[in-house]
A and B are shown apart, each in its own frame.
Chain A
Amino acid sequence: MIRISGLSHRIGKSAILHDISADLPKGKLTALIGPNGAGKSTLLRLIGRLEPLQSGSVTLDGADLSRTPTDQLALRMAVLGQQTAIASRLRLRELVGFGRWPHHKGRPRPRDLEVVNQALAAFSLDDLADRFIDEISGGQAQRAYLAMTVAQETDWLLLDEPLNNLDMAHARSLMARLGELVRVGGKSVVTVIHEVNYAAAWADHVVAMKQGRIVAQGSPYEVLTSETLSMLYDTPVGVGSHRGRPLVLHHV
C-alpha cells in the first residue's frame, strides 16, 4: 500500500496541493481523475519521488520514501511522466532496454534482453524495434515509453495519462493490459486518467482530485456518480450503467 499523509506542496508562491491524505491499495488498479490543473501530475511526481517532498510523508509498504535510496526505489516503482518528449535519438529497443537499467546497471544479462523483447511485443512494437524514436508517430512513441516502464518490472507502476496519443484500439488494449498486470501479475497500478470512462470500465479504486484536494475516493460506483462528477468538473454529467460498471455520459 502507498500511504500519503498530510502532503502539501507549493510551487513558488502558489499552493498546489493542500494537506492530502490517501491510501492507494496494493494489488489494485487505481485511477486518479480530476479536471486540468487539479494537481494529479504533481501528486504522482511526488509519490514517484521525481520531486522532493516539502511537507507530509509518503510510505510504500510501510517504508518512508524520502529515506529509501533512489536506486532501490527504482526496483519497486516505475514512473511514466506526462511530458515524455525525449530528444535523444535512440532505437526503440535501446530505449526500452534502459527500463532494465535498475536491474543490471549497465551489464544486461540474457534475462534482461528477454524482458525487453516481451515488452516490445506486448505493445506491438516488434516491427519498430530498430527505428529511432524521432522517426515514429506520437502514439507509437507513447507505447515505447510504456514498454520501457513495464520492462522495469516493478511491483508498482505510476502512470501519468498513459492514454495520451493512443487511438481507441490501443487505448483499450493498454487498459486491458494494465488490468492483466494487476490481476494476473499481482502488480499495483496507479494511473492518471483523463477520460473518465476508462476509469469507470477498468479501475478498482478511484481517487478524484480538484484544486489540490482529494474530493472523493472509493470504488468506481462510489465515486463515479452524477453528483460527484458534476461537482468535480463543474458541468452537468449523467451516469448510466453498462455491463455492470458505471458509464459516464458527459459528451451530450
Chain B
Amino acid sequence: MRLLPAAMLVLAGLSVASLTIGAASVSILEATRDPWAALVLMESRLPRTLAVILTGAALAVAGVVLQALVRNRFVGPETTGTAESATLGLLAVTILFPASPLWVKMVAASLAAMLGTALFVAVIRRLPMREVMLVPIAGLVLSGVIGAIATFIGWQTDLLQYVNGWLMSGEFSGVLAGRYELLWVAAVAAGLAWFAADRFAILGLGDSVATGLGLSPGAVMRLGLAVVAVVTAMVITTVGLIPFVGLVVPNIVARIMGDNLRASIPVVAVFGAVLLLTCDLIGRLIRFPYEIPVGTILGVVGAVIFLWLLYRRPAHG
C-alpha cells in the first residue's frame, strides 16, 4: 500500500521536470510575473504534461481491464485491433460525413473500436484455452488485417496522411491548450473502470464464477469493452498510437500486488503515467532541443521491460 504514495511522489517529481523542460527557455518560477513565461506554461507545458499523464494512466487502466476480460496477460489495447478499428471508424465518418462535428467523430471512433475489440474477443473465445500465446498472436493478426484495410481505404481516398497520423507512433509535441482535452474523456472512462473494478476482477475468474456470484458476464464484458474502446479512441485521435503502456504496466503491477483490481487500478494508473512521462522526458532531452516521439522511446523501453517480464515469470495466466 506504500506503493501508491511512493509512485505518486515520483510522478509529482517528473511533472515538475516536465513543466520546466522545453525548447523555449523560460523559468516557471517567473510565471506569476513574466507574462511570456505564464503563456508558455499555461498554453504548452501544462497541457503537455497533463496530456501525457492522462494518456499513460488511461491506457494502463484500459490494459488491465482488457487483460481481465480476455484472461490473458499478453495483450494490450494496441495488440487487439482496437486502435486500428477506431481508425477505421474515424475514416468512415471523415469520408461519409466530412462536416460532422468532433463529438460525432469521437463516438464513431469509440463504437468502431468497441466492435473491433468485441470481434477480437469472439475470435479468441474459439481458441483452445490452454494456448496462452495464441491470444496475442490472434490479436496481432487482427490488428494487421484491420490496419491494412484502413491503410488501403486511406490510400484510395487520399486520406493516408490522417491514417498514418493516427496509427504511427504517438507523440506529444503538438499538444497545446485546446488540443488535448478529449483525453479527459479517456480519464473519465478509466475512472469508471475503477468504479466497476470488482466486476472485472470477478469476470477474470471465469464466466461460471461470475454467474454464480450473480453477475451477468455479458454486461460486464460490454462495460469493459466500452472502457477500452473509449480510452483507445480518444488517445489515438489526440496523440496517436502509444504502444506498450497498456501491456507492460498491468503486468508489472500484477506481479507485485496481484489482480485485486479495486486495489491495483490506482497503482496501475499512476505507474502508467510515470512510465509515459519518463519516456516523454527522455524523448525531449536526448537530442535537446529537438524531440524524439515518445512512441519511439516506448518501443525500445517497453520491449525491454516486456522481454524482462517474459523471462522472469513462467508464462502462466
| Interface set of A (CB-CB < 8 Å, partner B) | 45, 48-50, 70-75, 78-79, 81, 84, 86-91, 94-95, 98-99, 101-102, 106, 132, 134, 152
Residues of A close to B317: CB separation below 8 A: 87-89, 134
Residues of B close to A106: CB separation below 8 A: 198, 262
In the bound assembly, the distance between CA atoms of A70 and B218 in angstroms comes to 13
Residue of B whose beta carbon sits closest to that of A73: B214
Inter-chain contact B208/A94, CB cutoff 8 Å: no
In the bound assembly, the distance between CA atoms of A95 and B317 in angstroms comes to 16
In the bound assembly, the distance between CA atoms of A87 and B206 in angstroms comes to 9
> Shortest 4 CB-CB distances between A and B: which pairs?
A74-B214, A71-B214, A87-B317, A88-B259
Query: Are A102 and B213 CB-contacts (below 8 A) given A87-B204, A88-B317, A89-B317?
Result: yes
In the bound assembly, the distance between CA atoms of A149 and B251 in angstroms comes to 28
Residues of A close to B213: CB separation below 8 A: 74, 98-99, 101-102, 152
In the complex, B201 has a CB within 8 A of chain A: yes
In the complex, B205 has a CB within 8 A of chain A: yes
10 A-B residue pairings within 8 Å (CB atoms) = A49-B211, A70-B211, A70-B216, A81-B212, A86-B206, A87-B317, A88-B68, A88-B205, A88-B259, A98-B209
In the bound assembly, the distance between CA atoms of A78 and B202 in angstroms comes to 15
In the bound assembly, the distance between CA atoms of A102 and B209 in angstroms comes to 12
Q: Which one, B201, B216, B258, contacts A98 given CB within 8 A?
A: B201
Residue of A whose beta carbon sits closest to that of B197: A106
In the complex, B215 has a CB within 8 A of chain A: yes
Residues of A close to B204: CB separation below 8 A: 87-88
Chain B at the A interface: SS class: loop
Query: Are A90 and B260 CB-contacts (below 8 A) given A98-B205, A134-B316?
Result: yes
Q: Least Cβ distance of B238 to chain A in Å?
A: 32
Inter-chain contact A88/B208, CB cutoff 8 Å: no
Q: Which one, A50, A72, A98, contacts B211 given CB within 8 A?
A: A50
Q: Least Cβ distance of A139 to chain B in Å?
A: 18
Which residues of B from 245 to 269 have beta carbons under 8 Å from A? 254, 258-260, 262
Residues of B close to A79: CB separation below 8 A: 208, 212
Q: Which one, A87, A91, A95, A102, contacts B214 given CB within 8 A?
A: A102
Query: Are A101 and B208 CB-contacts (below 8 A) given A75-B214, A89-B254?
Result: no
In the bound assembly, the distance between CA atoms of A88 and B260 in angstroms comes to 9
Q: Least Cβ distance of A64 to chain B in Å?
A: 17
In the bound assembly, the distance between CA atoms of A101 and B206 in angstroms comes to 15
In the bound assembly, the distance between CA atoms of A98 and B206 in angstroms comes to 13
In the bound assembly, the distance between CA atoms of A134 and B202 in angstroms comes to 16
Residue of A whose beta carbon sits closest to that of B254: A89
Q: Least Cβ distance of A144 to chain B in Å?
A: 12
Residues of A close to B212: CB separation below 8 A: 48, 50, 74, 78-79, 81
Residues of B close to A84: CB separation below 8 A: 206, 209
Q: Least Cβ distance of B277 to chain A in Å?
A: 27
Q: Convert B66-88 into 0s and 1s, putting 1 for each residue whose CB lies closer than 8 angstroms to a CB of A.
A: 00100100000000000000000
Residues of B close to A45: CB separation below 8 A: 208
Q: Which one, A72, A75, A94, contacts B258 given CB within 8 A?
A: A94
Q: Least Cβ distance of A85 to chain B in Å?
A: 8
Residues of A close to B207: CB separation below 8 A: 50
In the bound assembly, the distance between CA atoms of A121 and B209 in angstroms comes to 22
Residue of A whose beta carbon sits closest to that of B71: A87
Residues of A close to B205: CB separation below 8 A: 86, 88, 95, 98
Among A72, A81, A86, A88, chain B packs the most CB atoms within 10 A around the CB of: A88
Residue of B whose beta carbon sits closest to that of A50: B208
Residues of B close to A78: CB separation below 8 A: 212
Q: Least Cβ distance of B208 to chain A in Å?
A: 5
Query: Are A132 and B202 CB-contacts (below 8 A) given A71-B214, A79-B212, A81-B209?
Result: no
Q: Least Cβ distance of A138 to chain B in Å?
A: 14
Q: Least Cβ distance of B220 to chain A in Å?
A: 12
Residue of B whose beta carbon sits closest to that of A77: B212
Among B201, B204, B209, B262, chain A packs the most CB atoms within 10 A around the CB of: B209
Query: Are A87 and B316 CB-contacts (below 8 A) given A81-B209, A94-B260?
Result: yes
In the bound assembly, the distance between CA atoms of A50 and B259 in angstroms comes to 24
Q: Convert B192-204 into 0s and 1s, putting 1 for each residue whose CB lies closer than 8 angstroms to a CB of A.
A: 0000001001101
Residue of B whose beta carbon sits closest to that of A101: B213
Residue of A whose beta carbon sits closest to that of B132: A87
Inter-chain contact A91/B208, CB cutoff 8 Å: no
Residues of A close to B260: CB separation below 8 A: 90-91, 94
Residue of A whose beta carbon sits closest to that of B316: A134
Q: A70-B211, A75-B214 are in contact. List 5 more A-B contacts (CB 8 A).
A: A50-B212, A71-B214, A86-B209, A88-B71, A152-B213
Residue of A whose beta carbon sits closest to that of B203: A88
Q: Least Cβ distance of B48 to chain A in Å?
A: 35
Residue of B whose beta carbon sits closest to that of A49: B211
Residues of A close to B216: CB separation below 8 A: 70
Q: Least Cβ distance of B192 to chain A in Å?
A: 14
